[in-house]
Amino acid sequence: MAPRMIFARRVTQLLVGLFLYGVGIALIVRAAIGVSPWDVLTQGIDNHTGLGFGLITNLIGIVVLLLWIPIRQKPGIGTVLNVLLVGPSAQLTLWVVPEQDELWAQVLVFAGGLAIVALASGLYIGARFGPGPRDGLMTGLHSRFGIRIWIARTAVEVTVLLIGWVLGGNVGIGTLLFAVLIGPMVGVVLPRLMVPAAIEPQRKEVPIP
Residue ranges of alpha helices (H) inside 50-76 are 53-66
Could you count the other beta carbons within 10 Å of the beta carbon of residue 33? 17
Provide the pLDDT for residue 98: 96
Provide the pLDDT for residue 138: 83
Q: Report the mean per-residue pLDDT for the chain.
A: 89
pLDDT of 6 strictly over 60: yes
Provide the pLDDT for residue 207: 39
pLDDT band, residue 150 (cuts 50/70/90) = confident
- Select from 30, 87, 91 the least CA-distant residue to 64: 87
Give the Cα-Cα-Cα angle 174, 122, 125 (nearest 5 degrees). Answer: 115
Provide the pLDDT for residue 137: 87
Q: What are phi and psi of 65, to 5 degrees?
A: -65, -35
pLDDT of 202 strictly over 60: no
pLDDT band, residue 23 (cuts 50/70/90) = very high
pLDDT band, residue 73 (cuts 50/70/90) = confident
pLDDT of 201 strictly over 60: no
Give 81 or 142, the one with higher predicted confidence: 81
What stretches of the chain adopt beta strand conformation (E)?
none
Gyration radius from the chain CA atoms = 19
Could you count the other beta carbons within 10 Å of the beta carbon of residue 50? 8
Q: Provide the sign of the torsion angle of the four alpha carbons 8, 9, 11, 16, taken in this order.
A: positive
Provide the pLDDT for residue 206: 38
Provide the pLDDT for residue 209: 36
Weakest mean pLDDT among 13-22, 46-55, 163-172, 184-193: 184-193
pLDDT of 183 strictly over 90: no
> Is 68 exposed, middle or buried, given 0-12, 13-18 or 19+ CB atoms closer than 10 A?
middle
pLDDT of 200 strictly over 70: no
Amino acid at 74: K
Domain ranges of the chain: 8-193
pLDDT of 56 strictly over 90: yes
Could you count the other beta carbons within 10 Å of the beta carbon of residue 106? 20
Give 141 or 173, the one with higher predicted confidence: 173
For 141, residues 6+ apart whose C-beta sits below 8 A from its C-beta are 71, 147, 152, 156
Separation of alpha carbons 137 and 185, rounded Å: 21
Provide the pLDDT for residue 3: 79
- Select from 18, 17, 60 the least CA-distant residue to 169: 60
145-171: average pLDDT: 90
Separation of alpha carbons 5 and 120, rounded Å: 21
Could you count the other beta carbons within 10 Å of the beta carbon of residue 180? 10
